[in-house]
Amino acid sequence: MEWRIPLSDIDFGPEETEAVQQVMNSRWLTMGAVTQRFEDEFAAYTGVRHAIAVTNATAALHLACVASGLGPGDEVILPSLTFVATANAVLYTGATPVFADIEGEVSLNISPRAIEACLTSRTRAILVVHYGGYACDMPAILAIADKHGLIVIEDAAHAIGSQLNDRMLGTLGLVGCFSFFSNKNMTTGEGGMLVTDDDQLANKLRVLRSHGMTSLTWDRHKGHAWSYDVVELGYNYRIDEIRSALGRVQLQKLTVNNQLRRDRTALYHKLLQEFCPLVGIPFLEHPGVSACHLLPILLPVGVSREACMELMKSKGIQTSIHYPPIHRFSAYRALMSQVSYNLNCTETLAAREVTIPLFPSLPEADVTFVVEALRDTLTYLS
């Protein structure tokens, strides 16, 4: 389907083509010098000691959980209103995901009070997700973690360049995980990054990324090593040089593109309040600086989401849902049937949520077009 206005779009130009061409000309495609530079630049951008590039954010989350020592018998508190990968990463380690409710209409992020209600003697970690690039209540969450001796892992897949109190999101907990999937604020097609200030953890993450081996093919190619030991049960979660080359160019464009996202978001918020006063707008006034990855809205109670999305589609506007709550998926229901949760906000707000188009090159006229189309759709449906 050709959309008049797609949900998201990438910013690729001759710079990306040139960077990929250079890698191909170099004849070294697997993880090496370009990845090292990408990691250094990402670490500098986020202000951390270590950035470790991986195949995708799911792998990053998995490694973060493994390297944090999570395993069978441990409970990890996280939101259900996220992409399924967040919870899958916990399950891969044998630990148990425990879903905490979100804050409410003003913020779709995990609620610190709900986190406290989920604490047990088995709780080992809190896995936060900065929904749409908007900061979770990290001061409160870090205080809970501190009080109970818990690890904090940040799923910052949406939050590349988001800040809270002058710190980049993803750098506030023990370890942060970013995604470079093609709809994200910067993309390498598939790709991800771990960030941490903890030297020991960083070493462990690097070893786990590459089969638990003590040296890389690249080290041996450079003559730095001729053999290796295997010291952990590791994985092959390495990124490659083509993706790292894309990542380096995309990172340079991020600051400008995130500002364009913020400008579009401000315009959306203004027009939505004017033309669609019954629509709920999460994160309208939110602490910190958001990377504005998503533009979520909450349909008025009683309006059919399916009919609304169909009507928007008939006008050529792509919309989406973020997210069907994880605890409702068949696989999770089967796995977790014995556990009962209080996820009232998650359930009621997830059912009303619609995500509307947002990307840096979205023309301002198209923002107006989307809001007017939404106004007409809601008038027709009510």
Ligand X SMILES: Cc1ncc(COP(=O)(O)O)c(C=O)c1O
Q: Which residues are known catalytic residues?
A: 184
- Omega into 323 within 30° of 0, i.e. cis? yes
- Residue 59 CB, nearest approach to ligand X (Å): 7
Amino acid at 285: E
Give the nearer residue to ligand X in terms of CB position, either 179 or 377.
179
Binding residues for ligand X, rule: CB under 6 A, are 56-58, 82-83, 85-86, 129, 155, 157-158, 179, 181, 192
Rounded to an integer, what distance in angstroms lies between the CA atom of residue 312 and that of residue 317? 5
How far apart are alpha carbons 203 and 215 in whole angstroms? 12
Nearer to ligand X, 82 or 96 (CB): 82
Sole residue written with tokens 């990290």: 138
Q: What is residue 49's DSSP assignment?
A: S
Kindly tell me which of 183 and 215 has the beta carbon lying closer to ligand X: 183
Least distance to ligand X from the beta carbon of 136, Å?
Answer: 12
- Reference 80, options 355, 357, 344; nearest CA is 344
**H or E segment to which residue 331 belongs:** helix 330-335
Decide whether 186 or 271 has the Cβ nearer to ligand X.
186
Rg of the chain's alpha carbons, rounded to an integer?
Answer: 21
How are strands ordered across the β-sheet holding 175-179? 50-54, 192-196, 175-179, 151-155, 123-129, 75-79, 96-100
* Minimum CB distance to ligand X smaller for 83 or for 268: 83
**Could you give the angle at the alpha carbon of 322 between the alpha carbons of 283 and 192, nearest 5°?**
95
Partners of residue 154 on adjacent β-strands: 128, 176
- Contact 237/266 with Cβ under 8 angstroms? no
Check if the beta carbon of residue 121 is closer than 8 Å to that of residue 150. no
Q: Cβ of residue 170: shortest distance to ligand X, in angstroms?
A: 12
Q: How far is the CB of 331 from ligand X (least distance, A)?
A: 17
Of 288, 291, 281, 226, nearest to 257 by C-alpha is: 291
Nearer to ligand X, 12 or 181 (CB): 181
DSSP string, 80-117: SSS-HHHHHHHHHTT-EEEEE-B--SS--SBPHHHHHH
As measured in angstroms, the least distance from the Cβ of 58 to ligand X is: 3
**What token pair was written down for 59?**
């792998």
* Angstrom distance (rounded) from CA 284 to CA 106: 7
- Coil, strand or helix at 155: strand
Which residue, 57, 53, 33, is CA-closest to 42? 53
Q: Please state the closest distance from residue 56 (CB atom) to ligand X, in A.
A: 3
Beta carbon nearer to ligand X, 276 or 326? 326
In whole angstroms, the minimum distance from the beta carbon of 254 to ligand X comes to: 16
**Residue 63 vs 201, nearer CB to ligand X:** 63
Shortest Å distance, C-beta 311 to ligand X: 26
